[in-house]
Amino acid sequence: MPSPLYDIPVSRIDGSKATLGDYAGQVLLVVNVASKCGLTPQYDGLEALYRTYKDKGLTVVGFPANNFKGQEPGSNEEIQEFCRLTYGVDFPMFAKISVKGDDRHPLYAALAGDDDISWNFEKFLIGRDGKVAARFSPQTEPNDPAVVSALEAELAKN
């Protein structure tokens, strides 16, 4: 049975329409990102994970959000340029969304359920089956052994 996460409409950072269903069968690391946050250097770690594991089936997906102290004020174009020029981001980036509050995007409502997103760079690991396999706090670095072992376990499943 297809995952309900795969049916939720999202927009890529260039404005084109998409769903996470475009990545069905892959392992996803879904992250709400921000350009002006103390955790912004995690872009380096996210890109390193993506480059290391993309050929094994991992896709990192970034969702810019301005929910925390206005730390993502830019337009989609400005965010994309910042990510590419400053951090060499090559993983898929999506249009800016809200990840908490009354205007929370349906994707984050589905990912977090009744829980709130605590800050920028919260990470959701989605298995090949389209279900949330793990959730990591914003302070957990992308190269943390807990993240790496969880994603390797998901990649090993067929």
CA-CA distance, 155 to 16, in Å (whole number)? 28
The CATH homologous superfamily to which domain 4-156 belongs is Glutaredoxin (3.40.30.10)
Confidence at residue 156, expressed as pLDDT on a 0 to 100 scale: 97
Confidence at residue 158, expressed as pLDDT on a 0 to 100 scale: 76
Q: Give the active site residues.
A: 37
Confidence at residue 1, expressed as pLDDT on a 0 to 100 scale: 56
For β-strands 27-33 and 123-126, DSSP reports them as antiparallel
CA-CA distance, 152 to 148, in Å (whole number)? 6
Q: Extract the tokens encoding 22.
A: 């475009």
Quick one: angle between helices 76-87 and 42-53, nearest 10?
A: 80
Proportion of the chain above pLDDT 70, given as a percent: 99
Confidence at residue 126, expressed as pLDDT on a 0 to 100 scale: 97
- Ranges of residues in the chain with a pLDDT under 50 are none
H helix intervals, the chain:
42-53, 76-87, 106-112, 145-156
Domain boundaries in the chain? 4-156
List pLDDT tens digits, range 9-43. 999 999 999 999 999 999 999 999 999 999 999 99
Confidence at residue 2, expressed as pLDDT on a 0 to 100 scale: 67
